[in-house]
Structure 1
Amino acid sequence: MQATSRGAADRRSVVLTAFDHLPLPLVVGIGGTTRESSSTERALNIALRGAEAAGARTRLFGGAFLHSLPHYAPEQTQRTDAQLELIEAVRAADAVIIATPGYHGGVSGLVKNALDTLEELRADERPYLDGRAVGAIVTAYGWQAAGTVLTSLRSIAHALRGWPTPFGAAVNTLETRFETAETCSDGKVAEQLATVGRQAAEFALVFGAHRAARLAAERSVAKALTPAG
């Protein structure tokens, strides 16, 4: 099962002009359920479109892809092609948006298994989700689970050294419907989801600018300390 890449150079003009010299940030979406066209995955798609509108490239790892992942076993040294695809995408990402249904007060096992797989990033220069904005989306059949799981998802992002975006979206599917992949019955909810995507993209630009400035400063210092001749 292939992940979906989106975003294109035709959106380059909407990138904040102060960051025009930086490459378009990559926002990776992780989420969905075992059910095709789930509310969770459709909510995530709206958020990714918000990220694209803010100038980002996006890539989606939806429910079908997550369902293809084996249970993460840290003692095993071999990884499947699907696991490696997810690991490499997140490694290259500037921001991540995670969308999960609320199941019995917690993150779904499907999504948690994908996040557990990111243990493979532990030895990276940017370990886990370090230096990346993390958007959080929860869908649930009622408000109690939505709020509880959103808090849990933010805690997981912190544990992975990510930076949760200021706004996280909780969607009560008892009240809100996603009739198609492109539509949401509640315009306010659609705007909230797009806000998660925009914030992820905008923070990715800021973090990218900071990294670029830091590397430039390190090169300048190294050059200054290098003996002439």
Structure 2
Amino acid sequence: MDLTEQPFIVGLGGTLRADSSTESALRIALDAAEAHGARTELFGGSTLARLPMYDPDTPNGEDAQRLIESLRLADGVIIASPGYHGSVSGLVKNALDYAEELRQDGNPYLSGRAVGCVTTAYGWQAAVTTLQTLRSIVHALRGWPTPLGAAINSGVTRIEYGQQPDERVDFQLRTVGREVCALSRVSRSTTEGLAGARSE
């Protein structure tokens, strides 16, 4: 397959902890997208930690600009956040705030992009409420959350990248990656068709 025909999927999330369940889950979902033909790029916790607090009046540094440009080019996005006190982490929320730099694009914010949402938390309540919050943020950014979102109770299932996770967790994460890839192809085809119609 020609690279230009492959969906480009950006993965964003994780924590400052090395080998965190959140980033491991994100990597598994991205691997699934790759297995279905996507190109991927990961912005993990260590990269997000280098981003200063978003300030629209401050010029963006190299790391921030790379994130912004990747989101601009993305056909789809997968976001993974730990559940901190019932909501998304400040690290992930700050990274998503940089999408404000896309507000004047032809497809502003995450408009037209399929977005997979993954959350991990020590308990079902925090995992589920964080997933609901993340999906609400994606809606506010005009993205399309995939039908399935993955809420993972890390108190029950510890995820370590490179190790086979629980079957149910593995199914959720790989379904998220597959859905983002598939819906990104549909979105790209629709966008290209509309652009062709306008040029005729």
TM-score over 0.5 for the alignment? yes
Q: Name the aligned partner's letter for residue 53 of structure 1.
A: A
Distance 1:133 1:109, change over 3 A: same
Distance 1:64 1:202, change over 3 A: same
Matched residues, number: 200
Identity %: 56
User: C-alpha separation between the residues in 1 aligned to 2:3 and 2:43?
Assistant: 28
Counterpart contact for 1:22–1:208, Cα < 8 Å: no
Please name the residue that 1:157 is paired with.
138
Q: Which has the larger radius of gyration?
A: 1
Please name the residue that 1:171 is paired with.
152
Q: Name the aligned partner's letter for residue 195 of structure 2.
A: L
User: C-alpha separation between the residues in 2 aligned to 1:122 and 1:21?
Assistant: 27
**Structure 2: gaps spanning 5 or more residues:** none
Please name the residue that 2:27 is paired with.
45
Spell out structure 1 runs of 4+ moving beyond 4 A: none
Distance 1:44 1:21, change over 3 A: closer
Classify the secondary structure of the residue corresponding to 1:68. coil
Please name the residue that 2:12 is paired with.
30
Distance 1:80 1:21, change over 3 A: closer
**Structure 1: gaps spanning 5 or more residues:** 1-11, 13-19, 221-229
User: C-alpha separation between the residues in 2 aligned to 1:185 and 1:175?
Assistant: 11
Q: Name the aligned partner's letter for residue 44 of structure 2.
A: G
Which of 38, 46, 54 in structure 2 is aligned with 1:56? 38
TM-score when normalising by structure 1: 0.85
TM-score when normalising by structure 2: 0.97
User: C-alpha separation between the residues in 2 aligned to 1:21 and 1:86?
Assistant: 20
1:1-229 matches, cutoff 5 A: 12=1, 23-76=5-58, 78-179=59-160, 181-220=161-200
Classify the secondary structure of the residue corresponding to 2:147. coil
RMSD across aligned positions (CA): 1.3
How big is the shift at 1:187?
A: 1.5
How big is the shift at 1:185?
A: 3.3
How big is the shift at 1:217?
A: 1.1
Distance 1:193 1:21, change over 3 A: closer
